[in-house]
Amino acid sequence: MMNENIVQIENREAMSPEASGMSALATLLGVFAKPRAALIALSARPRILAPILVLLVSQVALGLVLAQSGILRNDTVAKLEAKNAPPEQIEAVTKVMEGPAKYAFVIGGPVVLVFSLLVTAGLLYFIANLMLGARLRYIHYLCIAAYGGVVGIVDQLVRTGIALGRGTLLVNLGIGAFMGDELSGLMRVADTATDPLLLWATAIEALGVSVMARKSFGFGVLAVAPGYLLLVSLSALQR
């Protein structure tokens, strides 16, 4: 019954003008301006190289900015001081953070990015295909995760800009923005979950699943919800 209602993406979408007429650059811009049209095009021809390259470049650039700014050192020292660490330990950590070690964040960022994309795509495949009955290939979900990540760059840019101005990576963009800097663990989760820019990127992923699987937007929301909750929890724990 459900299988009879499922439309094969390769056969149906490949015939649409949008699917055959959008270049990689057009889809990267379109995911912001006309996300549905861009995702329809991508359903016929999933692209992963272009968005992943954009993500890698952005991660390296933002990592270099943060490494040069000294924010990572400041936050690390602040955490040690909060734990009443001895001055000798704080001084040793400061020297390490002022040396080449600070660029480990720059190198680690792209590695974590690629790993997270693969995991996100795998989770989407499991939820949407195996549990909800969609019939998409893994590359479709990897494409969805990558383009969702491209939209998520906006969130990273805003956070980095605010962090540079405040001198700390502890930036609250959700409900926590109205509750001061000191948040409990539960409130950190709530703050991350209500970040409008993160919700935007997640909505793009949900739209991607619904468009490519030829389902309702609610179907896409169900598919991305577990991954979103996992991301929110991990992000809150890192703060």
pLDDT of amino acid 3: 38
**Which residue do the tokens 């195996």 mark?**
130
Find out whether 140 and 82 touch, Cβ atoms under 8 Å: no
Q: Are the C-beta atoms of 238 and 192 separated by less than 8 Å?
A: no
What pLDDT score does 11 carry? 40
67-75, long-range: CB < 8 A, 24+ apart: 67/102, 67/103, 67/105, 67/106, 69/164, 71/163, 71/164, 71/167, 71/168, 71/169, 72/97, 72/102, 72/105, 72/169, 73/97, 73/98, 73/102, 74/167, 74/168, 75/168, 75/169, 75/170
Confidence (pLDDT) at 239: 61
Q: What is the DSSP string of 70-93?
A: THHHHHHHHHHHHTT--HHHHHHH
Q: How far apart are the C-alpha atoms of 156 and 160, rounded to whole Å?
A: 6
What is the block-wise mean pLDDT of the chain (239 residues), using blocks of 10 residues?
40 46 91 96 94 96 89 84 83 82 83 94 96 94 98 96 89 84 79 94 98 96 95 76
What are the backbone dihedrals phi and psi of residue 6, each rounded to the nearest 5 degrees, phi first? -85, 130
- Terminal Cα distance for the chain, rounded: 46
Q: Which residues contact 124 (CB under 8 A, 6 or more apart)?
A: 141, 144, 145, 205, 209, 223, 224, 227
pLDDT at residue 151, rounded to an integer: 98
**Residue among 83, 210, 66, 61 at smallest CA distance from 134:** 210
CB 95, CB 76: distance < 8 Å: no
Alpha helices for 102-195 (secondary structure H): 104-124, 138-166, 185-193
Q: What is the pLDDT at residue 6? A: 41
Whole-number pLDDT of residue 81: 83
